[in-house]
Structure 1
């Protein structure tokens, strides 16, 4: 199958270009607002519309700053040390989920303290919003024709621009499904019953780590890194500890009494 050659720019206004990838971020944050607002009401948190907007704004800053710094540190530090002005060229790509997660945790801890909410409880009501943004972001990766998979002979293999003439796994779509609707439904199922604060968050950490670890076997490793430890990529080395930590913490936290 040939890549459908979707224009990454969906709207132009003079020199201004509005890209699908950026739109996915915006849609993700809008969806997060409504998900967090609904979840806060279900958990009995007296958060106003402005409070929820403050939470989403803080987390958005954490995602962007953490994602950029994480990519620089984990994936391409030598390049950015040689080209320091490129640190700010976010329009050229270069975001890391793991860095974004650390940024979100720090931002969440800050806003939880400001709003006088327990961090585990805030993390629980925000966690279901993450798969929406992740799924949309992976669709943006597919539209951009980036982060494609390894060469394959499966019938649904796609020939990506810049990926050579061989068909490759559409690994962006694998991730979009697993990190998006599948992970969202898992968190909804876990959160349906009243559980100790933190269980939903750690469930998210564990299943994201598992899904990312598995999909990385089909995804082309970053060219500047390749495989780092036998058959494992940087994404797997960062994700497998997430799976284990999330699993252990979800079990431990679930044994506590129900409450924040």
Structure 2
């Protein structure tokens, strides 16, 4: 792990570096999607910016909320300092980005599911870079293991997993994000209904996170659900997202079976630009 990069007299947080790289690639991929689909760039770039900022705020807010005792005595500005080795919670970012993005979509009267497809296929790689940042920062680490996958992380001797071979859970999630991104890229020219890419992400990623949580070793809030026993907050969110994504997928798929809508999606002529009125 290397939470701080030293370049001569300068120090740079690897978390900030990965956020910057991931954000830059997200905006670049958004622009590529705008060009490919011949969309109105103004509303879509604004949507990407709103979702990006909301995602950072949501990821930080959920992390601070569930670890409040560790932050209760720090200066208020450090609660916002995601660049200063700050913790972030992936689902907090995804949920607030989706909520803020939906509000903007409604305000501008954009096609909800088509806009969601555009954003999802452009921003899934951000998860990859955020998890690489987690790995370098030493957070979101995995459970101790004696398997060949175990790695011994560096960092401070006070770290919980210092000197103990552990699952590189951050790298597992990074690899899963790349695999989901590749699948969505393959699906985008084959989609049968608007929203298919967004629904696919909201099924694939939560399903993966249910498995991924079994490799996590960092303390996280746990919930007790009667006969189900104890599950993590991330697992509870994953199950909820899976339920709603599957329901939305069935409804959208049924609508996408309409021959008229299918022809419009598969037409070779350019689609009406999003945001142009």
| Fold shared per TM-score above 0.5 | yes
Range class of TM-score, shorter chain: 0.7 to 0.9
1:8 aligned onto 2:7: no
Q: Deviations over 1:64-99 (max 9, x none)?
A: 1111222233x2245555657253343241211111
Given the alignment of the two structures, is residue 182 of structure 1 paired with residue 179 of structure 2, yes or no?
yes
The question of 1:202 aligning with 2:194 is answered no
- Counterpart position of 1:228: 223
Q: Does the aligned pair in 1 maintain the 2:141–2:217 contact within 8 Å?
A: yes
Say which is worse superposed, 24-33 or 75-84, in terms of deviation. 75-84
Q: 1:157, CA displacement in angstroms?
A: 0.5
Q: Is this contact kept in 1: 2:120–2:198, CA < 8 A?
A: yes
Cα displacement (A) at 1:12: 4.5
Residue 11 of structure 1, CA deviation: 4.7
Please state how far the C-alpha of 1:256 moved relative to its aligned partner.
Answer: 0.9
Matched residue of 1:54: which SS? helix
Q: 1:61 to 1:126 in 2, by over 3 A?
A: same
1:154 CA displacement? 0.5
Displacement of 1:177 in angstroms is 0.4
State the match for 1:253 in structure 2.
Answer: 252
Q: 1:212–1:150: structure 2 CA closer, same or farther, 3 Å change rule?
A: same
Whether 1:159 aligns to 2:152 is: yes
Look up the SS of the partner of 1:62 in the other structure.
Answer: helix
CA distance in 1, matches of 2:128, 2:90: 12
Confirm or deny: 8 A CA contact 1:206 1:245 kept in the other structure.
Answer: no
Quickly say closer, same or farther: Cα 1:181–1:89, change in 2 above 3 A: closer
Corresponding residue to 1:72 among 46, 52, 64: 64
Please report how far the alpha carbon of residue 233 of structure 1 lies from its aligned counterpart in structure 2 after TM superposition. 1.9
Partner Cα distance (1:115, 1:12) in 2: 44
Equivalents in 1 of 2:56, 2:254: separation in Å?
34
Provide the residue aligned with 1:109 in structure 2.
102
Residue 214 (1) aligns with residue 211 (2): yes
Please give the alpha-carbon distance, in whole angstroms, between the structure 2 residues aligned to 1:41 and 1:197: 18
Rounded Cα–Cα distance in structure 2 between residues aligned with 1:8 and 1:237: 30
Quickly say closer, same or farther: Cα 1:13–1:59, change in 2 above 3 A: farther
Summarize the Cα distance change of 1:115–1:30 in structure 2 as closer, same or farther, 3 Å threshold: farther
Could you list the runs of 4 or more consecutive aligned residues of structure 1 that deviate by over 6 angstroms after TM superposition?
Answer: none
Give 2:112's aligned residue. 119
Query: Which of the two has higher C-alpha Rg?
Result: 2
Partner of 2:268: none
Q: 21, 28, 31: which is aligned to 1:34? A: 28
| TM-score when normalising by structure 2 | 0.79
Unaligned runs of 5+ in 1: none
For structure 2, the 5+ residue unaligned runs are: 266-273
Equivalences for 1:70-109 in 2 at 5 Å? 70-73=62-65, 75-80=66-71, 85=76, 86-90=78-82, 91-109=84-102
Q: Which moves more between the two structures, 166-175 or 195-204? A: 195-204
